[in-house]
Amino acid sequence: MKHILNKGNSTLLSGFQKTSGTQILMKHNIVLIEDHPVVASGLRNHIRPSRDSFLLAAVYEHPDQFMTASFDIPIHLVLLDLYIHETVFTQTIKNIKAKLPDTIVVIYTSEERPAVWQRAIDAGAAAVCPKSMPITELKKQIEELINNRFKTHESIITVRERSDLPSPEELEVIIYLQSGKNQEEIGHLMKRSQSSIEKIVAKLKTKHEAENIIQLLMLASRKGWI
């Protein structure tokens, strides 16, 4: 796999994970553009906010949806399903880079001809990952690209001890709630019982004086957790 990395400074990040009493490790946001529901679902299920250094911020079926979207959070990486027609996929890469110049574009494709990969790189993609690659390896490649592009020391801020910060597990529950999942579905995704998820949600509502999940999500948004 060939990498071409762009230079630049990191921007503010929207997600974080508490790493100690005095540090918060900020998470990076990635967007998936993929029209195959099985592939999209597989990636959703394998990207876990509690253990990965990045969050799946949005999923689009077509590049046009991404191009017309507006973002109030920084997008650090776009994982793009490669459209075989050369004019379409090369122009799509250029359009994404024009919209978000500092964003990394990674092509995720079942097309394995080196010449096609090279055209993607020439158009501005940082890397090409075949869909035959295991998802665990894909995640490693994404993390490597992000860490090289947005240096780790730029993604860590030092703060005073704050007891109101959610734990990684609590943050994962909040993110799933924000995506519209119910507590039974969250339990399945996190391999926890529904009652365990209900206890986590109840604890969060009590801790943050939220009367319901909507208030909890509004608070999480104001604090920049989601």
Q: What is the pLDDT of residues 28-39, one digit of tens each?
A: 888 899 888 887
For residue 224, the model assigns a pLDDT of: 66
Per CATH, 15-157 and 163-222 having the same topology is answered no
Q: Is the pTM of this model over 0.75?
A: no
Task: List the CATH code of the domain at 15-157.
Answer: 3.40.50.2300
Q: Is 130:109 a contact under the CB 8 Å cutoff?
A: yes
What's the pLDDT tens digit per position in 196-213?
999 999 999 998 888 899
Of 28, 35, 33, nearest to 10 by C-alpha is 28
pLDDT of 150 > 70? The answer is no
| Distance, CA of 12 to chain centre | 14
Which one is the CATH code of 163-222: 1.10.390.10, 1.10.150.120, 1.10.8.10, 1.10.10.10? 1.10.10.10
List the chain domain ranges: 15-157, 163-222
3-class SS string, 97-130? HHHCCCCEEEEEECCCCHHHHHHHHHHCCCEEEE
